[in-house]
């Protein structure tokens, strides 16, 4: 029978999972206490809470909230990074720490709203620009009526992230195609230049004899 302490812990985890915008699950096996303290300190700056949890209690809390299928995320020695704002910032915070410190920390996945993300999806999320920057880009590019903008901004969080990611990818494609277009224009100009020069030379050569004859006729008595 669950003890009062475990019941309290389950309720605490439920509260955090219910309020957070994203919870990234990590495996911290092999990390020292000093490393954990450093990670917590770095994440706390961005308002991210990093907590070690027991998988059985976390699974129970998730199931009671209707977030099923978390067994692949809560595995091994698990710690959760709870974010309450920009989901991209949380993914960046965890993935950035792993990259810069070459830590043994691993990403097992995440829960974002009603969706369960794989480790690869969390890493892809970390590669996106910050949410505010993505929204600014989207606003700058959007030409639909204002009602369309309202619908996008009021969409579920997962849908908004998808829209912002597509906008970022489209911008990248446009930047990648720009040099190609410039090269094509330069090639066309280079190809047409010799032809234009030849035409000018031919006109000059064709008109030169005629001009000489006219000068000779005027000079003769």
Same domain, 79 and 98: yes
- The verdict on 25 and 95 lying in the same domain is yes
**Whether residue 217 sits in one domain with residue 163:** yes
Q: What is the pLDDT of residues 67-81, one digit of tens each?
A: 888 888 898 899 999
- Token representation of residue 55: 């998988």
* Closest among 60, 76, 78, 77 to 17, alpha carbons compared: 60
What CATH number does residue 123 fall under? Answer: 3.30.70.1730
DSSP assignment string, 138-196 = HHHH--S-HHHHHHHHTS-HHHHHHHHHHHHHHHHHHHHHHHHHHHHHHHHHHHHHHHH
pLDDT of residue 135: 73
Phi, psi angles (nearest 5°) of residue 23 = -130, 110
Summarize pLDDT for 103-119 with one digit per residue, the tens: 889 999 999 988 899 99
- Identify which has the larger pLDDT, 39 or 150: 39
Q: Which has more confidence, 83 or 210?
A: 83
Note whether 12 and 118 are same-domain residues: yes
Q: Look at residue 61 and tell me whether its pLDDT is greater than 50.
A: yes
Are 115 and 154 members of one domain? no
The encoded tokens of residue 33 equal 């206490």
Rounded Cα distance, 146 and 175, in Å: 27
> Does residue 123 sit in the same domain as residue 137?
no
By the 10 Å C-beta count (0-12 exposed, 13-18 middle, 19+ buried), 176 is classed as exposed
What pLDDT was estimated at residue 210? 46
Last residue of a domain, one of 100, 127, 154: 127
Q: Return the higher-pLDDT residue of 129 and 175.
A: 129
What pLDDT score does 2 carry?
63
Range of the domain at 18: 4-127
**Do residues 111 and 10 share a domain?**
yes
pLDDT at 58 over 80: yes
Same domain, 60 and 110: yes
Each residue of 1-32: pLDDT tens digit? 568 888 999 999 999 999 999 999 999 988 99
Query: At 43, is the pLDDT very low, low, confident or very high (cuts 50, 70, 90)?
Result: very high
Single pTM value for the model: 0.61
pLDDT recorded at residue 5: 87
pLDDT in tens, 131-186: 777 777 767 666 555 555 556 555 555 565 666 566 666 666 655 654 554 445 44
Domain count, the chain: 2
Q: Check residues 218 and 77 and name the one with the higher pLDDT.
A: 77
Kindly write down the DSSP assignment for every residue of 74-107, as one continuous string.
S-SSEEEEEESS-HHHHHHHHHHHHHHHT-S-EE
Residue 22: closest CA among 92, 71, 78: 92
18, 78: one domain: yes
């Amino acid at each position: 029978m669950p003890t009062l302490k475990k019941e309290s812990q389950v309720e605490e985890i439920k509260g955090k999972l219910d309020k957070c915008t994203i919870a990234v699950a990590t495996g911290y096996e092999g990390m020292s206490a000093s490393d954990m303290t450093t990670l917590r300190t770095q994440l706390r700056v961005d308002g991210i809470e990093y907590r070690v949890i027991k998988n059985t209690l976390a699974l129970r809390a998730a199931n009671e909230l209707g977030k099923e299928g978390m067994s692949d995320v809560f595995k091994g020695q698990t710690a959760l990074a709870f974010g309450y704002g920009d989901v991209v910032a949380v993914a960046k915070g965890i993935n950035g720490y792993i990259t810069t410190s070459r830590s043994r920390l691993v990403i097992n996945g995440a829960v974002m709203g009603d969706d369960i993300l794989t480790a690869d999806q969390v890493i892809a999320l970390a590669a996106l620009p910050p949410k505010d920057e993505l929204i600014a880009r989207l606003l700058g590019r959007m030409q639909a009526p204002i009602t369309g903008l309202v619908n996008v901004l009021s969409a579920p969080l997962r849908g908004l992230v998808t829209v912002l990611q597509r906008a970022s990818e489209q911008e990248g494609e446009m930047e990648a195609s720009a040099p190609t277009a410039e090269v094509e224009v330069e090639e066309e100009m280079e190809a047409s230049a010799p032809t234009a020069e030849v035409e000018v030379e031919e006109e000059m050569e064709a008109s030169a004899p005629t001009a000489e004859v006219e000068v000779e006729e005027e000079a003769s008595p």
